[in-house]
Amino acid sequence: MPELPEVETVVRGLLPLLAGNRIDGVVVNRPDLRLPLPVDLGQRLTGAGVTTVRRRAKYGLIDTDRGDTLLFHLGMSGRFRLLTADETPARHDHVLFRTGSSRLAFHDPRRFGLLLLMPTIAVASHPLLARIGPEPLEAGFDGASLAAAARNRRTPIKALLLDQQVVAGIGNIYASEALFAAGIHPATPAGQLSADRLHRLAGAVQTVLASAIAAGGSTLRDHALVSGESGYFQHDFSVYGRVGQPCRPCGATIERIVQAGRSTFFCPRCQP
């Protein structure tokens, strides 16, 4: 499910539920996620107060007053869901967190997601996060940083956008959408793009991601807000998943190609 806008949406949903509250209990139903859960997860979290919930790239970070941070990644199918009062945990509710009378489940059918606990001061240097590039919606990402990453690269520009070391948080949906917004063909060798077009692309990345966050992300199948509501940015897709349909601005037929094993959607007329 989750690219930057979806993770941001989840983080914003968790914030009012967790921040300022204490984790009163943790139940692990299945420890074998993408990486094994820490064996002492429950022991280290139980009784801890949550100070804040934040995001870096596609990772969510739950900071506690014990100096620990619970890092989560949603993989392809992960989400958090709030259980109703007398609800029995469902299949794929791998970990349950209780605060007061609320129960929150980490739910992930495919188990590509993960939960890790680490000292808060060690988050930025953790191997999963240490080499990740700039946040696209913060200073440090712009046409110049994209140009520096694109220089001498023959890799398709779409693959460059997916590279988390170049820019954080873009996935398969928003790569296609940003390239459409910038009018750039996804197969263009990155190093071939002019500074002007890379500047436009950086702007398109920011516009698309900000719009998606405002819409609560995109719900294709798995993504849900913590409340259970759907995001609705999928209704605003210009190209993603629209193969065979007309391009809204120009009427040409949207095409699908496969790059590095993943679908890319684009308009052949708007993205020459």
Residue 3 is a binding residue for DNA (CB under 7 A): yes
* Whether residue 58 lies in the annotated active site: yes
- Is 158 an active-site residue? no
d(CA 53, CA 138): 18
The answer to the question of residue 125 lying near DNA (CB under 7 A) is: no
Residue 84 or 154 with smaller CB distance to DNA: 154
Burial 115-149, CB ≥16 within 10 A → b, else e: bbbbebeebeeeebbeebbbbbbeeebbbebbbeb
221: burial class by Cβ within 10 Å (0-12, 13-18, 19+)?
A: exposed
**d(C-alpha 227, C-alpha 102), whole Å:** 12
Q: Which of residues 86-115 bind DNA (CB under 7 A)?
A: 91-92, 109-112
162-201: which residues touch DNA (CB under 7 A)? 164, 171-173
Query: Do 140 and 60 touch, CB atoms closer than 8 A?
Result: no
- Name the segment binding DNA (CB under 7 A); options: 44-52, 60-68, 194-202, 213-221: 213-221
Of 193, 184, 187, the C-alpha closest to 150 is 193
Q: Which region, judged by CB under 7 A, interacts with DNA, from 20-28, 96-104, 139-147, 214-222?
A: 214-222
* Residues 112, 201, 165, 256, CA torsion sign: positive
| Single residue of 44, 199, 200, 262 touching DNA by CB under 7 A | 262
Q: Tell me which residues in 139-168 interact with DNA (CB under 7 A).
A: 152-156, 159, 164
Say if CB 5 and CB 170 are below 8 A apart. no
Is residue 74 within 8 A of residue 6, CB to CB? The reply is yes
In the complex with DNA, which residue's Cβ is closer, 3 or 68?
A: 3
229 is catalytic: no
Q: Which amino acid is at 100?
A: G
Q: Note if 103 is an active site residue.
A: no
Tell me whether residue 104 or residue 162 sits nearer to DNA (CB atom).
162
CB of 23 to DNA, least distance (A): 25
Amino acid at 154: R
Contacts of DNA in 40-69 (CB under 7 A): 57-58
Q: Quick check: 223 binds DNA (CB under 7 A)?
A: yes
C-alpha distances in angstroms, 147 versus 100, 132, 172, 219, 252?
A: 49, 17, 21, 32, 30
For 264, phi then psi, to 5°, come to -130, 135
Hey, which residues between 8 and 27 contact DNA (CB under 7 A)? none
Q: How far is the CB of 170 from DNA (least distance, A)?
A: 7
How far is it, in rounded angstroms, from Cα 169 to Cα 135?
A: 7
Catalytic residue among 55, 58, 79, 81: 58
Q: Per rule CB under 7 A, is residue 34 in the interface with DNA?
A: yes
Q: How far is the CB of 165 from DNA (least distance, A)?
A: 9
Q: Are 48 and 39 in contact, with CB atoms under 8 Å apart? A: no
Closest CB 53 distance from DNA, rounded Å: 18
Give the residue numbers marked as catalytic.
2-3, 58, 262
Q: Which residues bind DNA (CB under 7 A)?
A: 1-3, 6, 34, 57-58, 73, 75-77, 91-92, 109-112, 128, 152-156, 159, 164, 171-173, 217-223, 231, 259-263
